[in-house]
Structure 1
């Protein structure tokens, strides 16, 4: 059970999850097709072929020895698994890959919940339609469920693939393209200062600032250390790292409250119309947010500012004089899959008191059942089994685990899913008020 402002994934739990064996059911299923399903060691000789297969799966180039050494050093936190074909010409290279680790997902109410983060899912085009992806994903979910992890999460390159496993987009992201001359800053002009800093300094500061703010917004996760090197370009194999420029905002007391990374792409036809790409912006408080965005929008010789992985409800929209100066594109981003209804629902806080009777369907069997969620005036919920008739005053909601996962962070309302034909509810408005939250969820990275 998580409590507000308290990280919950102990290192012993993370280590136990990393060292756990592969799922026996998936191993047997793949073996029947002549395939070997096994863990891959970060320190072993099988790591390099595993990494090459991941690169191939994402249409990347072959990894050099330097890339492999750097990736090996940065992968110790992950559980790596491969599917191998002994009959393949290069049998030491897996024909499919998956990686996972035990992380923390922020949920409504400034709480963190242990979650199985999944990444590096690939299947070679030579081995499609053999049930490999299904075996790997179901195996990883069974392993997480057996370890007592209440939620799984992932960001995806192909969004249609994961709904069949109970995942749903739970936190959307927004991409912004801002015409700086039209935007005109009308937001706050906080005291403090913005300064350039070395990228290495940003790499040192970012984990601490992120840990101060990540529990404030549902959908954010604890960021593995190696990701900060990738953002800052401080890993040995980083390409064009020198193009990244780092800035910090310090408040009047001298405390660092915000960080940003950006690159500039020149317009060789008109040097007054460069484009700034904001790679990452991290703000601890409203002043840091305003100061960093004002700096970026008022850069000289810049016509456009681009930024991705922003919230669908950014305050920035109300800090510029012409909202039409911003073209905003929204897409699915953070996917969630509940594995333990009681643990997940009791971890978060709720938008209104009420009693919900939830009839949950789950084709994989982890969460199927009937539950009563009772939320008190303080926003805390308790879950019990729903046996017998509908309790007096309860709102009945029938939905699949994907739909329950979609509403979990407050990113979509029950009423919307009822209108979409995805959920049935006796009072969609009341259910939406209970399960809703006052701020939009977001995830500021890919993983």
Structure 2
């Protein structure tokens, strides 16, 4: 996430800042002053409430679980004007933690997750984001992390750093007045759904998400705060429990919990509505059963959800498909390949074949000519000489390759958009046949 709007590099001699990186962790049960000042700068960037000492301690305890590392840009060799925040407060912030990305075939690829990116309005256009991003991506590459990732608050910032949109999330409204009718009722009636206290979800979250994450192509690891936000027990900006949140659990045939939904009533211009806070289902049966439950809520006209997949089984399970409406679709997970051979060799492929691509990367991490040979669904990626002896069938930037990586968009579409170039006839079709995914990638994590 980012509050930065625009950056332009200046002469390094005019860069009056020092970048410092430190862990978000408690020291003898207290929040270190450096971490507390960094947190206040993040709250400023996202227009949040000033963080109290008690809140700061809870945030840091959660971030310590994730291994969050914080970077701040600090003024050096100068003093703040009288009355202004002192130089102990960073003028720009940046953080990362590392989890796994589901790239198919049971593989959770290590990924560098970037968050908390802000630049103070009075210090914009001075190359701060470029300095923080450039340094951090270089260190991630050196550490052997093949891909970086983020979810962006603004849409036009990160392409310039080589990030590309890899998944989307849909806002949906499902009309449930009178209940949901399913084409195959038995498919939505497996197992049992029962009401639970939301605090139970807090304790169940990690185990259920691990199952969902392991089975969901395009899923990325969640940070520890999700245990609280999913159960309405607090989130960044407000740690007070949500009083009107409700929870329901799905039990499979053996009586084990394999899914849940948390929801709350919302205002909706004359209609009675509930909004899904979080929905995790480890099986298709649990997913439809939880929606069947939501459709049975009395006095409710509409159920809303802001994290629905682009391709949703619910839409095709409902007898009245027109009662399922997408009210918006937005870019969600952005990826940035750092190690082209490592990233491409890690994901699964549906068919065998080969293609050669040329990748341009202004930061140099992923650039080169690469021959991709796939045998039995596994890729061998070879870096080729750039002396003219090897001709690439396709030319693209790292942002384009990062968008293509999970198969959420086709090379043909990006070619039509003017973003990739076919150097040899048939290369686009060859690439698409190799990179096509059997399921649409979907990510249920924001960070």
TM-score over 0.5 (shorter chain): yes
Distance in 2 between residues matched to 1:390 and 1:346, nearest whole Å: 23
| C-alpha distance after superposition, 1:261-299 (max 9, x if no partner) | 1111367x97xx421100111111111011001111221
Cα–Cα, structure 1 residues 423 and 182, in superposed 2: closer, same or farther, change >3 Å?
A: farther
2:47 paired residue number: 59
1:128 paired residue number: 124
| C-alpha distance after superposition, 1:16-68 (max 9, x if no partner) | xxxxxxxxxxxx98785221210245332111111111011011121122221
Are residues 1:161 and 2:157 paired?
yes
Q: Is the 8 A contact 1:395 1:431 kept in 2?
A: no
1:87 paired residue number: 79
How do 1:29-428 residues align onto structure 2 when only pairs under 5 Å count? Answer: 32-42=14-24, 43=26, 44-76=32-64, 77-85=67-75, 86-88=78-80, 89=84, 90-181=86-177, 184-186=180-182, 187=184, 188-235=187-234, 238-265=239-266, 273-328=271-326, 329-376=328-375, 378-387=376-385, 396-425=393-422, 426=424, 427=426, 428=428
Distance in 2 between residues matched to 1:244 and 1:183, nearest whole Å: 21
Distance in 2 between residues matched to 1:239 and 1:422, nearest whole Å: 46
Distance in 2 between residues matched to 1:220 and 1:31, nearest whole Å: 42
Cα–Cα, structure 1 residues 120 and 372, in superposed 2: closer, same or farther, change >3 Å?
A: same
Cα–Cα, structure 1 residues 178 and 235, in superposed 2: closer, same or farther, change >3 Å?
A: closer
* Partner SS for 2:167: strand
Shift of 1:325: 1.8
TM-score (norm. length: structure 2): 0.88
Shift of 1:182: 8.2
Shift of 1:173: 0.9
1:439 paired residue number: 439
Cα–Cα, structure 1 residues 384 and 193, in superposed 2: closer, same or farther, change >3 Å?
A: same
Distance in 2 between residues matched to 1:253 and 1:33, nearest whole Å: 62
Distance in 2 between residues matched to 1:321 and 1:35, nearest whole Å: 60
More off after superposition, 81-90 vs 303-312:
81-90
Distance in 1 between residues matched to 2:308 and 2:253, nearest whole Å: 27
| C-alpha distance after superposition, 1:63-95 (max 9, x if no partner) | 122221211211212001101124323211111
| C-alpha distance after superposition, 1:331-360 (max 9, x if no partner) | 100000000011101100112211110111
Q: Is the 8 A contact 2:354 2:430 kept in 1?
A: no
More off after superposition, 101-110 vs 147-156:
101-110
More off after superposition, 235-244 vs 124-133:
235-244
Shift of 1:183: 7.7
Shift of 1:240: 4.6
Distance in 2 between residues matched to 1:81 and 1:67, nearest whole Å: 20
Distance in 2 between residues matched to 1:29 and 1:214, nearest whole Å: 44
How many residue pairs get aligned? The number is 414
Shift of 1:230: 2.3
Distance in 1 between residues matched to 2:294 and 2:357, nearest whole Å: 46
Distance in 2 between residues matched to 1:70 and 1:30, nearest whole Å: 38
Shift of 1:123: 0.2
1:3 paired residue number: none
Q: Is the 8 A contact 1:31 1:37 kept in 2?
A: no
Shift of 1:390: 7.3
Distance in 2 between residues matched to 1:405 and 1:235, nearest whole Å: 33
Cα–Cα, structure 1 residues 181 and 235, in superposed 2: closer, same or farther, change >3 Å?
A: closer
| C-alpha distance after superposition, 1:174-217 (max 9, x if no partner) | 11012223884215233321111122211111211111221222
Cα–Cα, structure 1 residues 381 and 41, in superposed 2: closer, same or farther, change >3 Å?
A: closer
Shift of 1:389: 6.6
Cα–Cα, structure 1 residues 72 and 252, in superposed 2: closer, same or farther, change >3 Å?
A: same
Q: Is the 8 A contact 1:409 1:441 kept in 2?
A: yes
Q: Is the 8 A contact 1:178 1:326 kept in 2?
A: yes
Distance in 1 between residues matched to 2:392 and 2:177, nearest whole Å: 51
Distance in 1 between residues matched to 2:13 and 2:23, nearest whole Å: 20
Q: Is the 8 A contact 1:349 1:379 kept in 2?
A: yes
Q: Is the 8 A contact 1:183 1:322 kept in 2?
A: no
Cα–Cα, structure 1 residues 312 and 183, in superposed 2: closer, same or farther, change >3 Å?
A: farther
Q: CA RMSD in A?
A: 2.1
